[in-house]
Structure 1
């Protein structure tokens, strides 16, 4: 178990009895979806049967975790988008990098651009001290409006292998176009950064997430760097359910 995990509180979220089922599902899916030889989403996938019933596997309590804050620098997309995907991820996670490079850009191009999808990032560092530092650095870049540029630099091919030491984080911030690197360094080590990361981290643990990446799509748990089709199916289903609810 990572040392950061051992130091972090895992209080369950008081969100209702139905969330216990979702938490178990997300925890199990987190384990199975991120094993090295994990198959594509199949019958046991949280989204496998969603098309039959748009509300299947969706939990209103989890959907309410979407912040929809227009001032949130760690989010992209319209605050009134019908679908919100919350992503819990770690910069040292190889599967998170795969999702960031291979899948997320397609979702942004297809769904964020047309107003369907909002993506809200949650820092979920679980792989030790450098994970924690990278999470705070991403938050610090966000304070200068460069979170998503830092996200791209931190998940670029080969970036993880170079580590996330202090000098490396400054280099990534520079690559991301962070204007004031001295302020970035101060923000990275600030209490505000630590509290923000801790809030996100404890939210993920409270949901039963045990590995990264883990997602909520309008309250439906999805775990792991699943094939793009899994995400597009979940988004389309959530969009349909939102449309029906608004009638």
Structure 2
């Protein structure tokens, strides 16, 4: 009995010593405590640096001017966007239908050369004409690309004359751009003649008549600005470098003025204006009237003028 009591007392003493002495940390526990201690020290150091510079999460008296300056910059940059988009997103850029592939110029050249395919500054109307030269009906058009009525007439001319009559061999159609209105008229007409150098007059003509004449960009001097003309030239399949050189040289400004003066001498006072076998027709003519006039002229010529 005494021996058992003594053994129990020894065990209790050993247990008391183990509980009173600190436990030896394992290697993994020591690494975790070291990492945690280092992270806490880095956090405290970063907080002291940030707060010493006055850029805490909450503005202090020292950092308040910086907060106010940043807020004013955000308002200055954000207000225009708010005013622009408060009514919804802006309309997408104007889209253009590709030029009709079934109305190419009569003359063809992959790389037109000055002095061979054309004379710089003067262009014969051959490159602006479609149809047989011996056709019984000749229609000569005087048009202004800055004229809304000419845009309206273009759809009728394209769908009635160019697509229905020219392929039959009964009609030859010649287009002449004039500048009766202002600088926009002159720029567009000159661009069309530059396209004629590359035998793409009809392609650029179709695109110019698609331009929204009320879409003048802010601060731009012309609707037919350089960016728009370059875009149309690209859609028309023009060689852009040659087109730009031609346009900026203004080599066809004099030719546009010459065509405009000639049209005045012929009695053209407004656009669109058509000469149908020397018969003057001014303004937009609907398809029915056009067909009636063309049929009457054709029948008159076939009957020998009787």
Please confirm whether the aligned pair reaches a TM-score higher than 0.5, indicating the same fold.
yes
Which residue number in structure 1 is paired with residue 148 of structure 2? 94
Structure 2 counterparts to residues 173-188 of structure 1, below 5 A? 173-178=233-238, 180-188=239-247
Distance 1:114 1:90 in 2: 27
Distance 1:181 1:196 in 2: 21
Shift in alpha-carbon separation, 1:235–1:189, aligned structure 2, 3 A: farther
Q: 1:217 aligns with which of 276, 290, 300?
A: 276
Q: Does 1:113 align with 2:146?
A: no
Distance 1:164 1:93 in 2: 13
State the Cα RMSD in Å: 2.3
Q: CA deviation at 1:208?
A: 2.4
Indicate the SS of the match to 1:164.
coil
Indicate the SS of the match to 1:211.
coil
Q: 2:252 aligns with which of 193, 202, 209?
A: 193
Structure 2 counterparts to residues 63-212 of structure 1, below 5 A? 72-156=126-210, 158=212, 161-162=215-216, 163-178=223-238, 180-190=239-249, 192-212=251-271
**Partner deviation per Cα, 1:39-65 (whole Å, 9 max, x = no partner):** xxxxxxxxxxxxxxxxxxxxxxxxxxx
Query: Is the CA contact 2:194–2:247 (under 8 Å) kept in the aligned structure 1?
Result: yes
Distance 2:135 2:286 in 1: 23
Higher alpha-carbon deviation: 229-238 or 185-194? 185-194
- Normalising by structure 2, we get a TM-score of 0.54
What 5-or-longer segments of structure 2 have no aligned partner?
1-122, 217-222
Which residue number in structure 2 is paired with residue 240 of structure 1? 299
Query: Is the CA contact 1:91–1:160 (under 8 Å) kept in the aligned structure 2?
Result: no
Greater than 4 Å deviation, 4+ residue runs:
none
Q: CA deviation at 1:126?
A: 1.1
Tell which structure's C-alpha radius of gyration is larger. Answer: 2
Distance 1:134 1:219 in 2: 27
Query: Is the CA contact 1:153–1:159 (under 8 Å) kept in the aligned structure 2?
Result: no
What 5-or-longer segments of structure 1 have no aligned partner?
1-68
Query: Is the CA contact 1:136–1:189 (under 8 Å) kept in the aligned structure 2?
Result: no
Task: Count how many residue pairs are aligned between Structure 1 and Structure 2.
Answer: 178
Query: Is the CA contact 2:125–2:174 (under 8 Å) kept in the aligned structure 1?
Result: no
**Partner deviation per Cα, 1:56-99 (whole Å, 9 max, x = no partner):** xxxxxxxxxxxxx9971111111111111100001011111111
Q: CA deviation at 1:218?
A: 0.3
